[in-house]
Structures are given as C-alpha cells and as structure tokens.
C-alpha cells in the first residue's frame, strides 16, 4: 500500500471511529504521546539532497556570493565558519556511460590563511560499499558490520566514531584561493551518501558540484579515449559558469497552503539548515531529575523527527529551520537527515512492586490529531520507513556502563521490538541513554516508547 494512501485511510478511520471500530488491519494502542524535551543546537549544516537524482553537470548547492557568476541565482551568498556539518546524498542516473564526480569546493575569501579540519567523516556508495540487503527488524551489531544502503552504513559508522581514510583530515587554503575538500566518483545508477563534521578557523564559501570525468588529451597514434577525474581549475570554472542542475525535484507545498486533507509535498533539501544535534534528558518535568516509569501494562512515547503534518498530537515540529535555501527546495530540513538524537532517560520505579520496563523505537502511522494513541498495523508492508543503527547504553549494578548497538528495519505501522528490557526494584532507578543519527533513506516520524510490561521477567537484556 502506498504511504500516502495508508496515512489517508488511518486519518479517515481515526477521525470518526472509536478504538474498537477501527478497520481490522489497524491496531490502536492507547498510550500517551509526550512532547520531546530539548531542542536542536545552533550548529549549521551544509545540507545537499536536491535534486536527489543527478542527470547533468552543474551546481548542487553553493553558498558562494553571486557576484561574478554566470548564473547568480545558483549561489546563496552565505559564508560558514567555526563548527559546521556537511551532509550530501545524491544518485547518478546520467544519459551517458561516463562516471559522475561529486566535488566539494571550499574558498577562502579573506586575506589570511584558513585551515579547515575534518573532525569526523565518511562517504559510501551503494555499490560496492553498502548494497541494499534484506535484514530482520532487529539485529544486534556490536562490530558495525550490519547495514543496508549507504545511508544506513554512513550514520552507523559516524555514531561509532569511525573516520573514513579516503577523506582528508585537513586542508589549508591560502588567502583568496580555493581547495577541494573531496572529489569522489559516483558511477552510473549509483548513489553516494557523505557526512562530515568540520571546523574552519575562518569564514569560507562552500559549493557541492557535479561534473563528468574529463577526456584526456589524445595522442597522435591512438584512438582510445581515456578519462580522468576533474582538476581544481575545472571545478572552479564549473562553479563560476555552471547553472543549478536540472531536472529539479518537485517544489514543496508552501507552509500556508498545507491542508490536512490534501497531500503535502515537503520537497528535498538544498541549503544551510540550523541544528545538528538534539540532546535532552527526558524526565517528569523541569526540576525533576527522574522519569517515572508507566503503570504496569501501560506506555508513553516521545515523537522523533516530527514534520508539519505528523506531530502525533504534540504540535511539536522538530524539523530543522533553513537559514538559506533555493526557492524550489524544502522550507525546512524535513526528516533531519544527519541530526544526532542524544537522549538520556533516568528511569525510576516509583511503585511498591518490582517492574520490568522495555524501551523501543516504533514507526506508527503518521497523524497530527491524537496524543493519546498510536496507530499500527498487524502486518506492516510496503516501503521501509526506518533503516539504521540505534545505540543503547546503561549502567550495570556495579556502576559499569554497557553500550549495545542495534540495526533496525521498520516499515510504516510497525510496532517494533523492545531494544532493551530492565528489571527495577521498588524505588530503584536506572539511567538509559538512547542515541542515533537520523539516517537518509528513512521517512519520519518515529517514536521512542517506554513500556512497563504486564508480567515481571526474572532477567534483563
């Protein structure tokens, strides 16, 4: 079933029917949905995902000034400095067999040398680096060998602190000059996902460009054409003379034109978004350093990566705002690709009985009306809505911290299996950390659910 059609059916059913009257394919779980504490930080993200499919050469995203450029509208005129992230995800589907190169050009407009340091980064192709493979809904992955697709592998490796050796650790840019942060191939019908955390000690302009491999000079005694990757001057020429890459993606629905009963086009992102991390301690409220577990048999949830029409009744939109963007691209960084969610849950058993508490990530049907229920389906089918790695860390009784990594695959309407299960004695507390980097090739929102089980289990896992 198509995602929009499924959501439409859910909206129609829940708008007029009670829990017991839902069509049999749906499950209505009566659990409280709470606003997620915290907020996005103010770290800028060079965010390039539109157009996703690249069929020509040109400019994907440029923060260069428009003066002196052949196509001024291709440049957003916003320097970046200090800590910022770079996220790009693009697919090459050219009308010719040549390899497409993606290049990040960085320019120093100042009279002083600027050093750009890559604090962490990785870049993967779908083939051969991270092909899409079928995986179970939950696989524990202590060594980082479980992934499906470049977005899944990329964010899992970044979460673990991995640094890709094919990326430079630092580049030095003399006054008024440009350097390539990277120039990497995307073979035909392939995709590349890249994420970098960088620090620049001075203002720089950044451009994400696409160019086909360049023919070498033919010698007089051969008719064989060989190709090479583009040189710096060729990248600079493309940045100065190039246009935005066409065809473009679908333009987004303006915020003032969004209607719940109509399909909303969010659009893909091309610009600078604001916010690289959502860090929060999830507690009972301000001044309360604990999170009381639910009553036995009950649960509560916190939405993750919410969008305008999918807040689960909380009215909290977590999508990162755009500082600058192209007019035909997303108004917000919907999906928060590359945003690190770092959540601490100081679980506390305030009851007089031993309880077993489970923590899970779930993908209910998107809705914006109810904060007292989540809608699932008995047999999730169709498009995968989440494919990525989640880290769960907790303290043992002896004070040592254990960290476990799980790779999840969830479809729309999937309840999700518990990631961890804890036994808590009366009055006992346990701090649990849940963090993940929202992966490309995922569709928001998800929820983080805490449930106290009906039965007490004799062991924890």
- Quick one: tokens of 247? 């065809």
Q: Which of 449, 447, 448, 151 is nearest to 310 (CA)?
A: 447
pTM: 0.93
- Burial of 245: CB neighbours in 10 Å, binned 0-12, 13-18, 19+: buried
45 forms beta bridges with 85, 273
Q: Say if residue 378 is exposed, middle or buried (CB neighbours under 10 Å; 0-12, 13-18, 19+).
A: exposed
The single residue listed with the structure tokens 């600058």 is 324
pLDDT tens by residue, 118-135: 999 999 999 999 999 999
pLDDT at position 458 is 60
If 0-12 CB within 10 Å is exposed, 13-18 middle and 19+ buried, where does residue 246 land? exposed
Which tens digit of pLDDT belongs to each residue from 422-440?
Answer: 999 999 999 999 999 999 9
Q: Residue range 143-166: average pLDDT?
A: 97
Report the mean per-residue pLDDT for the chain. 92
Q: Would you kindly state where each structural domain of the chain is located, as residue ranges?
A: 3-40+277-452, 51-241
| E strand or H helix that includes residue 345 | strand 340-348
Model confidence at 12, pLDDT cuts 50, 70, 90, reads: very low
Token pair recorded at residue 56 = 């020509």
- Cα 72 → chain centroid: 30
Q: 302 has which bridge partners?
A: 448
The reported pLDDT for the residue numbered 1 is 32
Confidence at residue 442, expressed as pLDDT on a 0 to 100 scale: 93
User: Mean pLDDT over residues 84-95, rounded?
Assistant: 93
């Amino acid at each position: 079933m198509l995602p929009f059609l499924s959501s439409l059916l859910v909206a129609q059913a829940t708008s007029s029917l009670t829990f017991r009257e839902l069509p049999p394919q749906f499950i209505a779980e009566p659990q409280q949905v709470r606003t997620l504490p915290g907020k996005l930080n103010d770290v800028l993200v060079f965010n390039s995902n539109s157009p996703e499919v690249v069929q020509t050469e040109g400019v994907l995203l440029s923060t260069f000034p428009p003066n002196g450029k052949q196509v001024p509208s291709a440049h957003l005129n916003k320097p970046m400095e200090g800590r910022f992230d770079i996220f790009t995800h693009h697919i090459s589907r050219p009308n010719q067999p040549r390899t497409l190169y993606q290049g990040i050009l960085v320019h120093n407009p100042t009279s002083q040398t600027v050093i750009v340091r890559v604090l962490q980064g990785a870049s993967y192709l779908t083939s051969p680096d991270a092909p899409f493979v079928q995986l179970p809904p939950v696989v524990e992955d202590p060594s980082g060998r479980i992934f499906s697709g470049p977005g899944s592998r990329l964010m899992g490796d970044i979460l673990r602190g991995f640094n890709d050796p094919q990326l430079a650790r630092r580049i030095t840019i003399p006054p008024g000059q440009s350097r390539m942060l990277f120039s990497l191939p995307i073979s035909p019908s392939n995709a590349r996902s890249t994420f970098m955390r960088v620090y620049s000690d001075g203002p720089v302009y950044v451009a994400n460009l696409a160019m086909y491999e360049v023919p070498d000079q033919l010698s007089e005694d051969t008719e064989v054409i060989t190709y090479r990757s583009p040189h710096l001057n060729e990248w600079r020429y493309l940045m100065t003379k190039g246009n935005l890459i066409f065809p473009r993606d679908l333009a987004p629905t303006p915020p003032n034109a969004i209607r719940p009963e109509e399909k909303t086009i969010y659009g893909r992102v091309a610009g600078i978004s604001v916010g690289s991390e959502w860090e929060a301690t999830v507690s009972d409220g301000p001044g309360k350093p604990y999170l009381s577990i639910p009553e036995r048999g009950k649960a509560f949830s916190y939405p993750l990566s919410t969008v305008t029409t999918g807040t689960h009744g909380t009215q909290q939109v977590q999508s990162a705002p755009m500082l600058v963007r192209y007019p035909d691209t997303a108004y917000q960084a919907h999906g928060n690709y590359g945003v690190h969610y770092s959540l601490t849950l100081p679980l506390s058993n305030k009851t007089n009985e031993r309880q077993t508490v489970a923590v899970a990530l779930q993908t209910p049907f998107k809705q914006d009306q109810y904060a007292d229920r989540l809608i699932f389906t008995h047999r999730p089918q169709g498009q995968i809505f989440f494919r990525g790695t989640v880290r769960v860390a907790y303290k043992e009784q002896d004070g040592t911290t254990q960290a476990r990594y799980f790779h999840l695959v969830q479809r729309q309407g999937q309840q999700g299996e518990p990631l961890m299960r804890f036994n808590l004695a009366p009055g006992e507390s346990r701090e649990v950390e849940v963090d993940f980097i929202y992966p490309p090739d995922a569709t928001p929102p998800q929820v983080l659910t805490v449930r106290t089980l009906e039965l007490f289990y004799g062991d924890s896992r």
